[in-house]
C-alpha cells in the first residue's frame, strides 16, 4: 500500500525516511537493530507505532491504532507498508541487501501474502516485550 500524508499535519514528513515499527514486538526490534547496523549513514529515522504521532498517521490511513498488522515507511509524504516498505528499506542498506529490491517485480499481493504470514506469527516466533524499545544513547538521535 502507498498513500500520501499532508506534510503540514505530520511533523515526521520533514524527514527523508522514517520507519514506524511496533516497539514491543521482538521481531520488529530485531529488524530495527539490523537496519541500524546496516545504515551507517543514518538514512532512516525511527519511531514507534505506539507514539501519538504514529497514531495520528494510522487514523488518517484508516489502520488500527492497537492491533498492528504492518509497520510503516514514511518517505516524506509517501507511506509504504508491508513488503513494499521492507524492499524500499533494503535498497538503502549497506552490503548486498539492496539486491533484495529486485523482488519488487513479484506481484505485490503475493509479496504481501508472505509478509502477512510472518506478521501474524511474529509474537509466536520472537515474543513480545512489556514496554517499547528504549534506544541506547548512541541511537537516540535516530529516533523521532
Give the burial class of 11: count Cβ atoms within 10 A of its Cβ; 0-12 exposed, 13-18 middle, 19 or more buried: exposed
User: Which residue carries 529486485 as its cell?
Assistant: 102
The beta strands (E) that lie in 13-125 are given as 18-21, 45-48, 72-75, 78-81
Quick: pLDDT tens for 90-114.
Answer: 999 999 999 999 999 999 999 999 9
Nearest partner of 144 among 70, 56, 54, judged by Cα: 54
What is the CATH class of 2-129?
Answer: alpha beta
* DSSP symbol at 109: H
- pTM as predicted: 0.89
Interval 4-55: pLDDT, tens: 777 777 888 888 999 999 988 898 889 999 999 999 999 999 999 999 999 9
Amino acid at each position: 500500500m502507498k498513500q500520501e500524508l499532508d506534510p503540514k499535519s505530520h511533523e515526521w514528513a520533514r524527514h527523508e525516511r522514517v520507519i514506524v515499527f511496533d516497539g514491543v514486538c521482538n521481531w520488529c526490534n530485531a529488524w530495527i537493530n539490523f537496519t541500524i547496523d546496516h545504515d551507517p549513514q543514518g538514512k532512516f529515522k525511527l519511531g514507534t507505532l505506539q507514539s501519538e504521532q504514529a497514531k495520528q498517521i494510522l487514523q488518517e490511513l484508516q489502520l488500527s491504532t492497537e492491533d498492528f498488522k504492518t509497520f510503516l515507511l514514511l518517505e516524506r509524504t509517501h507511506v509504504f507498508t508491508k513488503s513494499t516498505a521492507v524492499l524500499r528499506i533494503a535498497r538503502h542498506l549497506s552490503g548486498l541487501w539492496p539486491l533484495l529490491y529486485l523482488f519488487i517485480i513479484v506481484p505485490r499481493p503475493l509479496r504481501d501474502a508472505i509478509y502477512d504470514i510472518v506478521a501474524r506469527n511474529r509474537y509466536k516466533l520472537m515474543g513480545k516485550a512489556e514496554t517499547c524499545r528504549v534506544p541506547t544513547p548512541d541511537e537516540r538521535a535516530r529516533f523521532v
